[in-house]
Chains A and B, each alone.
Chain A
């Protein structure tokens, strides 16, 4: 019994540590990769070696800033909003397995759990936008709600395709059922997932809700200091969660050479690959207009996801 408690506490601490470290790694990668893609150097001074401590310095800066709550704001909701996104992605990260035995918690319906709790995180954005009492924040929140509603559907449909192909809703089970054949068979689903996940995270080219040249910073306009930093952390934690999820679903998670010993490393590397692609998209494409954004979701991704579901169903029936 006490062994169980120790194990649960240890797993929880490890998840928390991963939640605090991995987003920073992705953030620093974004700083450096984006800089080099644009012919710059990026941060060079903090920490000495190629500016590795830039985000630590940013964190210290955010912690020192004054925590301002506008007079026109709905104060309790305004204060509570940043917590929702953070907690949601923390809960999602807890169920993603890095190896057959390396996970925060093994949930039978882990896939649904991961999508469901990230859905709660989006409510935090809406609460932030509404409670700020600022027109830019409100417009940003409306854009964000419209976007999240339309991209939730293709995301869930593509996840359903992976689940049907594996015959399981457990993330460990899906990774076990993976074969190299999936790289071709599930390719449309993986593309839909990647695009829809980028839109869910409100990253470029789907960043109309936080478009700086149109609505300042959208729902986060009025936030300062640590609360603003929490939103940033939630965004990068979201990249980590979505990338690892796609790595487990589409690239077989820990499958690879020496996966008896290095399984967790494979999952991390594959996840990192998707994180790099998400960063790459930010550097490559301009922002989509609001109507183009809806068009991509309803006329592009949803039919593609339905097609993928049909292909998966045919494949499962034929090979069963």
Chain B
């Protein structure tokens, strides 16, 4: 085992453990804080693998913006101190999510194992220059499409939140009958 392996194992275990804690904890805000720990550890994983820019951008966007946004939303709505059970999910939902997680893991593992097998692959494509050439050369259209999708989602969210009250009342009564 090299030093890299040791570091990767450490940050990987921290990442997985805090991710698990963030979905199992009964404290609402703690879940968001554990999510932050998981994301920082994920940045650590990228860093160990040599993808410095990806690690830093992950830190900047996910920890600096997304988690802050999640915390902000929690504080605006409801963020009790202590355990809260009113947002617990049903057993069926938990079972379904576990099956889904297991399926995703199996799919990813199958792809990685069938693709790479036991061959160790040297990762060296993490430099800022290589990454930007790839992103704005080969992958520029998927990248742009993704941003278009996000803008569409944003406009959609705005449209839903700006619906006149009457329309909302109609849809609600429509669903009720």
Say which one of B2-10, B56-64, B157-165 lies at the interface with A.
Answer: B56-64
Closest to A141 in B: B75
Q: Are A112 and B64 neighbours in the complex by a CB distance under 8 Å?
A: no
Chain B interface: which size bin? 20 to 34
Contact check, A138 vs B75: say whether CB atoms are below 8 A apart.
Answer: yes
Stretch at the interface among A148-156, A244-252, A265-273, A310-318: A148-156
Stretch in A42-50, A114-122, A280-288 touching the partner: A114-122
**Which of A72-80, A235-243, A297-305 contacts its partner?**
A72-80
What secondary structure prevails in chain B residues at the interface with A? Answer: helix
Contact of B68 among A113, A115, A138, A145 (CB under 8 A): A145
**Interchain CB contact under 8 A, A109 and B56:** yes
Q: A49 to B53: give the CA distance in the assembly, Å.
A: 48
The reply to whether B36 and A149 form a contact with Cβ atoms under 8 Å apart is no
Known contacts A108-B52, A123-B67, A169-B128; A156 and B72 CB within 8 A of each other: no
B81/A126 in contact, CB under 8 A: no
> Is A74 touching B63 in the complex (CB atoms < 8 A)?
no
| Contact residues of B between 41 and 79, Cβ < 8 Å to A | 52-53, 56-57, 59-60, 63-65, 67-69, 71-72, 74-76, 79
Q: Are A108 and B60 in contact (CB under 8 A)?
A: no
- Contact call B64/A122, Cβ cutoff below 8 A: yes
29 chain-A/chain-B pairs, Cβ below 8 angstroms = A72-B81, A73-B81, A77-B29, A77-B30, A108-B52, A109-B52, A109-B53, A109-B56, A112-B53, A112-B56, A112-B57, A112-B60, A116-B56, A116-B60, A119-B63, A119-B64, A120-B40, A123-B63, A123-B68, A126-B75, A130-B71, A130-B75, A130-B79, A131-B81, A145-B68, A145-B71, A149-B68, A149-B72, A152-B64
Residues of A within 8 A of B (CB): 72-74, 77, 107-109, 112-113, 115-117, 119-120, 122-123, 126-127, 129-131, 133, 138, 141-142, 145-146, 148-149, 152, 156, 169
Known: A115-B60, A138-B75. A149 touches B81 (CB 8 A): no
- Complex contact B64–A116 (CB within 8 A): yes
A109-B56, A116-B64 known; A74 and B81 CB under 8 Å? Answer: yes
Given contact pairs A77-B30, A152-B65, enumerate 17 new A-B contacts (beta carbons under 8 Å).
A73-B81, A74-B27, A77-B29, A107-B52, A108-B52, A109-B53, A112-B53, A112-B57, A116-B63, A119-B59, A120-B64, A122-B64, A123-B68, A123-B71, A130-B74, A131-B29, A169-B128
Instruction: Tell me, in angstroms, the Cα distance from A145 to B68 when the chains sit together.
Output: 7
A109 to B132, CA, bound (A): 13
Q: Beyond A112-B53, A130-B75, A149-B72, is A156–B60 a contact (Cβ under 8 Å)?
A: yes
Separation in Å of the A117 CB from the closest CB of chain B?
A: 7
Q: How many angstroms from the CA of A275 to the CA of B123 in the assembled complex?
A: 43
CB distance from B130 to the nearest CB of A (A): 12
Are B81 and A142 in contact (CB-based, < 8 A)? Answer: no
A148 interface neighbour in B57, B68, B82, Cβ under 8 Å: B68
Cβ–Cβ < 8 Å partners of A169 in chain B: 53, 128
Q: Hey, which bits of chain B sit against chain A, CB under 8 A? A: 27, 29-30, 33, 36, 40, 52-53, 56-57, 59-60, 63-65, 67-69, 71-72, 74-76, 79, 81-82, 128
Within the assembled complex, what's the spacing in Å between the Cα atoms of A108 and B63?
21
The docked-state distance in angstroms from the alpha carbon of A148 to that of B30 is 21
Q: Are B36 and A146 in contact (CB under 8 A)?
A: no
Query: Contacts of A116 on B, CB cut-off 8 Å?
Result: 56-57, 59-60, 63-64
Question: Which residues of the partner chain B approach A149 to less than 8 Å between Cβ atoms?
Answer: 65, 68-69, 72
Q: Which residue of A lies closest to B73 (CB)?
A: A145
Task: List chain B residues, Cβ under 8 A from A107.
Answer: 52
Other-chain residue from B30, B57, B72 in contact with A145 (beta carbon distance below 8 A): B72
Which residues of B are found within 8 Å of A148, using beta-carbon distances?
Answer: 68
* Contacting residue for B81 out of A112, A119, A133, CB 8 A: A133
B75 CB to nearest chain A CB (Å): 5
Closest to B75 in A: A142
Q: Which residues of A contact B65 (CB under 8 A)?
A: 119, 149, 152
